[in-house]
Amino acid sequence: MARELHVDVVVVGGGPVGMVVACELAGYGVSTVVFEARASVSGRPRATTLHARTVQCLVRRGHLGGLASVGGPGSAPASSPFHFAGIPGLAISVPAMEPEPVLKCSQEELERHFEERARTAGARILRGHRVTEVRPERDGVRITAEGPHGPVSCAARYVVGADGARSTVRERSGFVSDSYPATVSAMAGDVRLGEGAAMGAGWHRTPRGWIVAKDIPGGRTRLRILDCAGPHGDRGQPLTLEELREEVSRIAGRDIPMAAPQWLSRFSDFSRLVRSYRSGRVLLAGDAAHVHFPIGGQGLSTGLLDAVNLGWKLAFTVRGEAGEDLLDSYDLERRPAAQRVIDNTRAQVALMRPGPELDPLRALFGELLAGGAESGVLSAMISAQDTVLPAHAPRSSSWEGRFLPNVGLTTARGRTDVIGLLREGRPLLLLLGEQGRSGYEGQARGWAGVLRVVRAEPGPDIPCDALLVRPDGYVAWAAGGADLTAVLTACFGSPVGVDAGL
């Protein structure tokens, strides 16, 4: 007989994306269960890069404590070197007082970190539980899973599918996707190279394809290769060491002996994007919603931005502090962002095709990247710092939908900054000077239980009378735009209560 559970939200998938969703939900007091098929955290090497906007959002929600540092008052803007389609020279830059532009951290370490945070917040993590059924019910969804001690049946108000590219939740819930077929083949593995076979770390292009090499502990080399001749004919078959050796040797143009493989994998540039991130009470995040070629380290970052965007919205909805419009905005905001990632990764693959006819285009991109200012568009795109969210109303301030940088603020309680004010997890109504306080404070009175109202001294860093800032750091409203009460009603439902302020 199946064990019965009843919770507000079930998260299917215990990777970093699912664990951050659980962190968010449990942190807001929402009862949450995570079903993860793996019995333990996988040590298999995966993503190692978190880009600037992802780091910025996670820091504002307090999820990267001990992993990322934030620049203090007087700190200068920072920049980290990166690449576009294997062409060096790209610089990922961030404003002063923000965390590092590119955070290097293994997916394994991130998963352990987020799982510990989720457990501490009160989420229940059930490892070794494989979901077999997702069935809509009148007031929620029923999930059935096979666990180490038998079947488990769980009734939930909502389900979040964060269970990867082969998502059971996506398939069982009837989500429709658009896909782009594979055009290239790629392989990866950790191996020990033979005598005389060593190659320099970095990106190597030959007339036959690409080899990316990285030295790792234990005397091994992490190899990734790209063959643009076409997709794998046997994509579903396990990769063998001999296949990898033959392909690396062919692309390099010399024999590359190798042994002692630690892991081997094959992949392609197949891409997929669901047409909606929501189907009733079922929502998707991360690779369950979108997959693309892993160039530029954007996959994990995109999924974690899904998690941060969805987490607070779903929590407020479950708690009755927001309406369905707020939850619907998850798809409206995150699906275009994923499409942009798919488009730029496909463009990078096109630029990586080794034919000599593309040499002038590669040279042009190299000049643009070396020029500095011209590379700003690519830098902002790769790091997701160019993301501007849709406005709530036709008449909106130029601030609305943009990310509020971390700046210092002076309040009645002393000096603070934007990151410090957002860690509580409540939307922030920031009133700057007497002009900002007049009128707006009264308009927000009915949402006292939802908002955090902070009065701060005006300054040149925020030349605006008042801002409504979401928990993820994006501006939902600004003085001079639409009516504040209309925006608050659209986001958080009808007004109740009285304003306590700060």
The pLDDT assigned to 496 comes to 67
Numbered ranges of CATH 3.50.50.60 in the chain: 3-179+272-382
* pLDDT confidence of residue 437: 66
Determine the CATH number of domain 185-268.
3.30.70.2450
End-to-end CA distance of the chain: 53
408-492: CATH topology: Glutaredoxin (3.40.30)
Buried b (16+ CB within 10 A) or exposed e, 244-265: bbebbebbbeeebebeebeebb
Angle 421-425-426 from CA coordinates, rounded to 5°: 80
What is the three-class DSSP state of 57? helix
Q: pTM to 2 decimals?
A: 0.95
Report CA dihedral (39, 40, 46, 50) to the nearest 10 degrees. 120
Q: Where in the chain is the domain with CATH 3.30.70.2450?
A: 185-268
Q: What is the pLDDT of residue 234?
A: 76
Report the alpha-carbon distance of residue 441 to residue 456 in Å, rounded: 13
User: In CATH, which superfamily holds the domain spanning 3-179+272-382?
Assistant: FAD/NAD(P)-binding domain (3.50.50.60)
Spacing of C-alpha 120 from chain mean position = 22
CB atoms within 10 A of CB 364: 11
Q: What is the mean pLDDT of each run of 10 residues along the chain (502 residues)?
A: 90 98 98 97 87 97 93 85 93 94 94 97 98 95 96 97 98 97 96 88 93 92 94 85 96 95 94 98 98 94 98 96 90 97 97 93 91 80 96 82 95 93 95 76 90 91 93 94 89 67 38
What the block records as the tokens of 77 is 């803007």
Buried b (16+ CB within 10 A) or exposed e, 6-26: ebbbbbbbbbbbbbbbbbbbb
Domain with CATH 3.40.30.120 in the chain: 408-492
Q: Which long-range contacts (CB under 8 A, 24 or more apart) does 347-352 make?
A: 347/85, 348/84, 348/85, 348/86, 348/293, 348/295, 348/296, 349/85, 349/183, 349/184, 349/228, 349/269, 349/293, 349/295, 351/84, 351/85, 351/87, 352/85, 352/86, 352/205, 352/210, 352/226, 352/228, 352/295
